Structure 1
Amino acid sequence: MGRIPPGPPETGRVRRNRDADWNDWPVADYLAENYRRLHPCDIGVIHHHAAVYRRFAPGALSRTVELGAGPNLYPLMLAAAASRGVDALEPSAASVRYLCGQLAHGVDDSWRPFYALCRSLAPGLPADSAEALRRVRVVRGTADDLVPGTYDLASMNFVAESVTEDFGEFTALCDAFVHAVRPGGTLLAAFMERMPSYRIGTGPVWPACPVDEAALRAVFTPRTTGLRIVGLAKDRTLPEYGDTGVLLLTAERPAA
């Protein structure tokens, strides 16, 4: 998740996705700062997302995608409640290594409370997280590799706003996300609200595009139907990261 501290003041140069070395994404620091325990923010996201997956019977979705999966496992766990196959699309070599290790050797103990909550809210999940994650296929790639109309559902958590300072590029990433699903397909996303560019630990500054509800509506209203956006309050159990909360989005790609 993108709950991370702001970087230094603006330099005047707008940085795009290609300007960051995502292969060097600091997975260990990221997990330590965000996912080694279950925070109220995570609980809110999981409740929201589980309600979407409960619309579908177990196995009703042929294939879904997690765009920019990173090392966050709980969106993949939740998808297994309804999907027969889940593509975790991720450009970072470091994150791909982490995901493949978790799938091959079992999840870190810190993920167990996350899975317990997912399963309590999505009864279609199996008793064991390893069985749920067997439906996941890790795919090294970017939004440019998405084939339009491939998936029944697309999920994206703390990605488009966390990889570029360019609102045009943010919009293009969201457009690729929308078109990844078939006409009538479901879209499910979470965004950090008004998050500036940021550091993880003592590493480099990563580009981010601060967005609010009005920005999301401007991007998604002409591209979707049934758009719904709800907010989560800033999680005060976390350090001060520069964001003002979380925005949760559901929508559908218009039917042909």
Structure 2
Amino acid sequence: MRRNRDADWNAWPVDDYLTENYRGLHPYDIGVIRHHAAVYRRFAPGSLFRTLELGAGPNLYPLMLAGAAARHVDALEPSAANVRYLRGQLTHGIDDSWQPFYELCRSLDPALPESCAEALRRVRIVRGTADDLRPDTYDLASMHFVAESVTEDVDEFTAVCAAFVRAVRPGGTLLAAFMERMPSYRIGTGPVWPACPVDEAALRAVFAPRTTSLRIARLAKDLTLPEYGDTGVLLLTAERPSPAVPPVQASSSR
């Protein structure tokens, strides 16, 4: 069983990953963006002082989505390769392939700035892992295809999710996407990366005791993407409970 420390994340194959997943809009992207934009629209522009993208990777659209509601966005990322890519995009301008993603984000949330560059101006790249998170720091935290994609150890998956929950202040919002039942996977012709197959029951077991207002929606498998062994995407929203409010029974949205 491989854990997070057993993989060389600094050698993450950025170009192959982007080519396989983000050089064009796929159904998964559209579904995630639609779901998340509806959450961000609940917040007035600038009403979230600081938000988190945990394990940002080279995926820019979660950072774009935060560009209206959040005044500051921390993109926490451990991989040197991903950090180089993110810093290059923020410094020199985004690749043309990201523009359709931003157009979709802005069509769903008109409060976003006119330009993607303005939306991303709020982003600060932070080198680090979930172990570096301080509790009670963020108004909202999001995470995309991270906790289930870095370890084969269920306990370590749970620990990453628990740190994710603790990172938001009581009453803060949690927003996440998980690959459903994805086994350890390969990008391009590179090495196999560790993963922990999770389903809705696994997410409820981890998040229901730690959150309130838990909702889990599902996207059907995206056949336009390479075969990673997944069966769909699970979309999670929840809140960290205030001290006086115990977690409640989760509900499901499909």
Amino acid at match of 2:98: W
Q: Deviation string for 1:134-170 (max 9, x for gaps)?
A: 0000000000110000000000000000000000000
**Distance in 1, Cα, partners of 2:43 & 2:227:** 37
User: Does the alignment pair 1:242 with 2:229?
Assistant: yes
Matches within 5 A, 1:224-239: 224-239=211-226
TM-score (norm 1): 0.94
Using the TM superposition, give the Cα deviation of residue 184 of structure 1 relative to its aligned residue in structure 2, in angstroms.
0.4
State which of 125, 129, 133 in structure 2 corresponds to 1:142: 129
**Distance in 2, Cα, partners of 1:203 & 1:237:** 20
Using the TM superposition, give the Cα deviation of residue 122 of structure 1 relative to its aligned residue in structure 2, in angstroms.
1.0
Q: How many residues align structurally?
A: 243
User: Does the alignment pair 1:82 with 2:73?
Assistant: no
Q: Specify which structure has the higher proportion of strand.
A: 2
Partner residue of 1:176? 163
Amino acid at match of 1:210: P
Using the TM superposition, give the Cα deviation of residue 241 of structure 1 relative to its aligned residue in structure 2, in angstroms.
1.9
Using the TM superposition, give the Cα deviation of residue 238 of structure 1 relative to its aligned residue in structure 2, in angstroms.
2.0
Amino acid at match of 1:216: L
Partner residue of 1:10? none
Partner residue of 2:190? 203
**Distance in 1, Cα, partners of 2:234 & 2:214:** 13
**Distance in 2, Cα, partners of 1:135 & 1:191:** 25
State which of 42, 45, 54 in structure 1 corresponds to 2:41: 54
Q: Deviation string for 1:207-253 (max 9, x for gaps)?
A: 00000000000000000000000000001222322100000000000
**Distance in 1, Cα, partners of 2:54 & 2:226:** 26
SS at match of 1:62: strand
**Distance in 2, Cα, partners of 1:181 & 1:166:** 24
**Distance in 2, Cα, partners of 1:41 & 1:219:** 24
TM-score (norm 2): 0.95
Matches within 5 A, 1:1-256: 14-256=1-243
**Distance in 2, Cα, partners of 1:242 & 1:151:** 33
Give yes or no for contact 2:13–2:187 (8 Å, CA) kept in 1: yes
- Percent identity over paired residues: 84
SS at match of 1:65: strand
Q: Deviation string for 1:42-86 (max 9, x for gaps)?
A: 000000000000000000000000000000000000011200000
Give yes or no for contact 2:186–2:228 (8 Å, CA) kept in 1: no
SS at match of 1:239: coil
Unaligned runs of 5+ in 2: 244-254
Q: Deviation string for 1:168-222 (max 9, x for gaps)?
A: 0000000000000000000000000000001101111100000000000000000
Unaligned runs of 5+ in 1: 1-13
**Distance in 1, Cα, partners of 2:94 & 2:179:** 26
**Distance in 1, Cα, partners of 2:147 & 2:226:** 22
Amino acid at match of 1:235: D
Relative contact order, higher structure (CA 8 A, sep 6+): 1
**Distance in 1, Cα, partners of 2:186 & 2:11:** 13
Q: Deviation string for 1:76-118 (max 9, x for gaps)?
A: 0001120000000000000000000000000000000000000
RMSD: 0.5
SS at match of 1:130: helix
**Distance in 2, Cα, partners of 1:136 & 1:161:** 24
**Distance in 2, Cα, partners of 1:255 & 1:83:** 21
